[in-house]
């Protein structure tokens, strides 16, 4: 594992799986990008909603929240943005999750 980390030292490591919260991000374009978050069960909405003027900010959110796991995810999000709506699962840290659950 240490050799792997040396070869890919430029990547940030994600926290262990048990220290993250898996949430679903649903987004759509309505006078900007409206983002809603759901618990992993896809039924329980988290109280915080976000609104971005540009898709660049939406992409930055997905990057910071561990949403881009592979090239296929990048392509999917790109297509969703072109359609004007979409969604994907994110891996949030404790701190990120706490910010979404605060009112």
Closest CA to 24 of 4, 44, 6: 44
Burial track 52-78 (b if 16+ CB lie within 10 A, e otherwise)? beebeebbebbeebbbbeeeeeeebbe
pTM reported for the whole predicted model: 0.79
Residue 9 predicted with pLDDT over 60: no
Asked if residue 101 lies in contact with residue 47, where contact means CB atoms within 8 angstroms, the answer is yes
Look up tokens 């990048």; give the residue.
Answer: 74
Give the pLDDT confidence of 15-44 residue by residue, as tens digits.
Answer: 455 678 999 999 999 999 999 999 999 999
pLDDT of residue 6: 45
Average pLDDT over residues 72-99: 95
């Amino acid at each position: 594992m240490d050799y792997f980390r040396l070869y890919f030292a430029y990547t940030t490591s994600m926290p262990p799986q048990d220290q993250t919260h898996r949430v679903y991000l649903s987004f759509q374009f309505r006078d900007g990008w409206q983002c809603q978050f759901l618990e992993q069960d896809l039924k329980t909405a988290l109280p915080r909603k976000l609104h971005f003027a540009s898709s660049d900010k939406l992409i930055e959110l997905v990057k910071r929240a561990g949403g881009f796991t592979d090239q296929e995810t990048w392509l999917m999000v790109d297509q969703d943005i072109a359609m004007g709506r979409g969604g994907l699962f994110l891996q949030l840290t404790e701190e990120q999750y706490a910010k979404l659950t605060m009112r």
